[in-house]
């Protein structure tokens, strides 16, 4: 199944939630707390996990939609209000943005980017899974073993060794002698976009001291250089950076580095470590948990994944104003596309879990009477948000593919 169809699957599956008339028509007769009343402990745990995930989906969905609409409108140079735009209009708007990007390729420009890297807060998902334990104690297994591919990232107060990647958190930088995913201040071993203290070989948005026969800068650039920089670069770097990096710095295997400031480390932390995150899906725990409850936990954790900022570089001939719009807005689409990679499958499983929950609640008259109205409200919010997120994910993935493929 294609990625776009996977994203759209969640919405119609969740549509089944609203087709259960016996659920919609009931009132919430619970007392304090969630008010699940006569529901079994297992159903109560599933309802709580589903409600939390639905609330997260509603909140995150609105934010994702706003970011995608603003980014596509910015690239297409159009005006759009995310609070007053239909899903098919989002598709049209982002198709216009893709056409603008494609036109730059046709004019001879080259667009390179370092994609965002999103990681699931593993401890948050594990905490949610704790509410799914109803009948027996559960030993979920080590988080590192459950992190698909073993890409577990932790906050490290000390030295990080092994397959090392230091990842800066908000407002922090890491000292880097390797590939920088973000903004580099120092020497850039490949393409720099930003201020170049030295010779800029590419496009200069400003004054260039020397030009070649094709109109490319081959001297000092008073402004923003987009190309190779023989000297110090302060901006995004598509290769190795020697200096500070504000996002993620990947070093060679068996390196040892101290992650300075509020930074994270991928590798073995020789010191105090906390806040584990997984740069992939967190596999289900080794013990038996209710699959529907687990799906809700995974959806909530995936939707709140933390992402490193992507870096975009445009070289070759390009309209300066259009290039500036693409550089300013494409990163938001790349980040949403990275979120889609993490959350797309989880949303499908969440929709299927909701459909199963409808059937199980309807089979219990006591639970139907106590939880019906509250659950119907959660289902309505989840359905609407899922449809919106699906369109936003698909639009961002399509624009990202256009930017990478030319």
Q: pLDDT of 289-331, one tens digit each?
A: 677 888 888 888 888 887 877 778 787 766 778 888 998 899 9
What local confidence, expressed as pLDDT, does residue 100 receive? 94
C-alpha closest to that of 276 among 163, 142, 100: 142
Sign of CA dihedral 303, 308, 314, 315: negative
Tell me the average pLDDT across 97-111: 89
CA separation for the pair 76, 99 (Å, rounded):
8
CA distance 154 to 172: 15
pLDDT of residue 74: 95
What CA–CA distances, in Å, run from 138 to 124, 152, 267, 288?
A: 16, 22, 27, 8
State residue 248's pLDDT score. 74
Look-up of token digits 């110090």: 232
d(CA 242, CA 224): 20
Predicted confidence (pLDDT) at residue 26 exceeds the cutoff of 50: no
Q: Which helix (H) or strand (E) holds 135?
A: none
Task: With H, G, I as helix, E, B as strand and everything else as coil, classify residue 109.
Answer: strand
Q: What angle do CA 93, 90, 310 make, to 5 degrees?
A: 80
| Residue 79: predicted pLDDT | 92
Tens-digit pLDDT profile for residues 249-292: 776 555 666 665 556 677 677 777 766 777 666 666 656 667 78
Nearest residue to 113 (alpha-carbon basis) of 338, 349, 400: 400
Mean of pLDDT over the chain? 77
Reported as type and span, the H/E element at residue 68 is helix 41-76
Cβ neighbourhood burial of 291 (10 Å; 0-12, 13-18, 19+): middle
Q: How far is CA 367 from the centre of its chain?
A: 36
Q: For every residue of 331-388, which 3-state class applies, written as one string?
A: HHHHHHHHHHHHHHHHHHHHHHHHHHHHHHHHCCHHHHHHHHHHHHHHHHHHHHHHHH
Summarize pLDDT for 208-251 with one digit per residue, the tens.
999 988 788 999 999 888 888 888 998 888 778 888 887 777 76
> Span 89-106, mean pLDDT?
92
- Note the pLDDT tens digit of each residue in 284-298: 665 666 778 888 888
pLDDT > 90 in the chain, percent? 16
- d(CA 218, CA 211) in angstroms, rounded, equals 5
Of residues 60 and 374, more confidently modeled: 60
């Amino acid at each position: 199944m294609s990625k776009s169809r996977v994203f759209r699957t969640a919405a119609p599956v969740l549509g089944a939630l609203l087709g259960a008339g016996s659920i919609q028509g009931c009132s919430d007769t619970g007392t304090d707390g969630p008010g699940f009343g006569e529901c079994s402990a297992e159903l109560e745990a599933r309802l709580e996990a589903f409600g939390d995930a639905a609330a997260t989906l509603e909140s995150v969905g609105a934010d994702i939609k706003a970011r995608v609409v603003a980014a596509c409108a910015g690239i297409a140079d159009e005006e759009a209000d995310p609070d007053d735009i239909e899903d098919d209009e989002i598709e049209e708007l982002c198709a216009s943005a893709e056409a603008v990007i494609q036109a730059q390729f046709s004019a001879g420009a080259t667009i390179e980017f370092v994609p965002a890297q999103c990681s699931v807060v593993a401890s948050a998902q594990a905490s949610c899974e704790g509410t799914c334990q109803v009948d027996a104690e559960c030993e979920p297994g080590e988080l590192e073993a459950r992190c698909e591919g073993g890409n577990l990232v932790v906050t490290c107060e000390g030295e990080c060794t092994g397959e090392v990647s230091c990842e800066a958190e908000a407002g922090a930088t890491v000292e880097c002698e390797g590939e920088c995913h973000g903004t580099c201040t120092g020497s850039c071993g490949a393409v720099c976009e930003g201020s170049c203290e030295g010779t800029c070989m590419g496009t200069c948005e400003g004054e260039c001291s020397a030009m070649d026969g094709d109109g490319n800068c081959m001297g000092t650039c008073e402004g923003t250089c987009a190309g190779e920089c023989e000297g110090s670069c302060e901006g995004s770097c598509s290769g190795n950076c020697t200096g500070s990096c504000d996002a993620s710095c990947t070093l060679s295997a068996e390196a040892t580095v101290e992650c300075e400031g509020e930074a994270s480390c991928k590798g073995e932390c020789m010191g105090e470590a906390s806040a584990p995150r997984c740069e992939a899906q967190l596999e289900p725990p080794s013990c038996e948990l209710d699959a529907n409850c687990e799906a809700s936990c995974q959806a909530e954790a995936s939707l709140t994944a933390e992402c490193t900022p992507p870096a975009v570089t445009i070289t070759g001939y390009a309209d300066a104003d259009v290039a500036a719009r693409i550089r300013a807005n494409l990163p938001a689409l790349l980040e949403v596309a990275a979120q889609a990679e993490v959350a797309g499958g989880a949303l499908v499983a969440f929709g299927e879990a909701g459909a199963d929950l409808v059937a199980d609640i309807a089979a219990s008259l006591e639970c139907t009477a106590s939880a019906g109205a509250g659950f119907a409200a959660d289902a309505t919010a989840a359905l609407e948000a899922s449809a919106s997120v699906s369109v936003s994910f698909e639009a961002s993935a399509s624009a990202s593919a256009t930017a990478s493929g030319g």
